[in-house]
Amino acid sequence: MCSGSTSFKSSHVHAQRGLSLIELMISMVVGLVLLAGMTTLFLNQNRTQGSLERTSRLIENGRYALQLITDDLQVAGYYWIFDPSDFTPPDPLNPCDTNVNTLRNSLPVHVQGLDHTVSPPPPWPCVIDKKPDTDVLVIRRAAPLAQTVPPSNATFFMQVSRCPTNFGAQVFDRAYTSLNLTDKDCSTLAPAHRLLVRIYYIATTTGIPTLTRVELNQAGVFTSPQALVEGIEDLQLEFGIDGVVAGMDGVPDDFDPCDLCPPEEFARTVAMRVHILARSMEAAKQDDGKVFTIAEKAPFDPNDNFKRQVYSQYVELVNPITRITSP
């Protein structure tokens, strides 16, 4: 019987080792540092994005408000072929007055203003909740499209005869049925254009300074205030008046804020400088320390954490210039 020896190799089983307490604590600290960095980055990006959105909206509102006023000023004094020079505006001239005679006599005053320094301000009942220390702008012109059918509401129209036997005769009346002047064929009624009167100002009805407009509507009364652009904090005007130094040549001799201008001087306005101050809708985390100057007002530092920007525009009043320079 054979006997043999069997050799066994010893195997060593190595037990798995976990993280020590120190290693675990180091991992947690590294993770917390990374998390804090990511959180800070996220908050900074959010803050930057919010600042960019406020600035973008501020720029958009400011430019849009200035464009609204500029576009209207560029057609101020458009009366088709109606000649307003024969009328004498009353002094004082209340732009909210809807008396037909007042409106007819106010036609030479294509633009009018109320300066913020006038105290006490005159009673203009259609201008509601005006922000103190801001200006008011009034623009008069005719509607671009002629009225061809009798309107359902009473309003104010101007009409000029083009019939050779009565050429140039004019009528301004509230009743469309009173317009009886004829066109070139001397039988068809001549075109009649509705009078538009628009008043721009800064209102604080909602607690937010807002560019607001009221206008003479088709019923011959002024509309309720219409909010146009929020965040417009100030409106300042300068009137370029012709005929101050030399004769009337369609070029402004002087720019006047018109705190004491009579209607006759407003009627000689051939250019304007419009200044607005736009404000962000939400306050920032800290004040940027900027000092603002708008028109002839003293520089001021609001110190209230709102972003602001001043926008200005020079506007030539083409229609009055054309009437002055045309032979």
Q: What is the pLDDT of residues 187-229, one digit of tens each?
A: 999 999 999 999 999 999 889 999 999 999 988 999 999 999 9
Residue 1 pLDDT level (bands cut at 50, 70, 90): very low
Q: What is the pLDDT of residue 47?
A: 67
For position 319, what pLDDT does the model report? 96
Neighbours of 96 (CB within 10 A): 18
Contacts of 158 (CB under 8 A, 6+ apart): 79, 80, 82, 107, 142, 170, 171, 172, 192, 193, 195
Tell me, yes or no, whether 7 lies in a domain. Answer: no
Residue at 28 is within a domain: no
Distance of CA 37 to the CA centre of its chain: 44
For residue 88, name the pLDDT band (cuts at 50, 70, 90): very high
pTM (2 d.p.): 0.84
Q: Is residue 22 part of a domain?
A: no
Q: For the chain, how are helix, strand and coil distributed in percent, rounded to 5?
A: 25, 25, 50
- Percent of the chain topping pLDDT 70: 90
Is 1 domain-assigned?
no
Pick from 68-77, 159-168, 177-186, 240-249: least confident: 240-249
Is residue 35 assigned to a domain?
no
**Domain span holding position 295:** 47-325
Q: Is residue 228 part of a domain?
A: yes
Residue 101 has pLDDT above 70, yes or no: yes
In this structure, the strands spanning 210-215 and 170-173 are: unpaired
209 within a domain of the structure (yes/no): yes
Give domain status of residue 93, yes or no.
yes
In total, how many domains does the chain have? Answer: 1
Helices and strands per DSSP (H, E), number in the chain: 4, 11
Tell me which of 258 and 19 has the higher pLDDT.
258
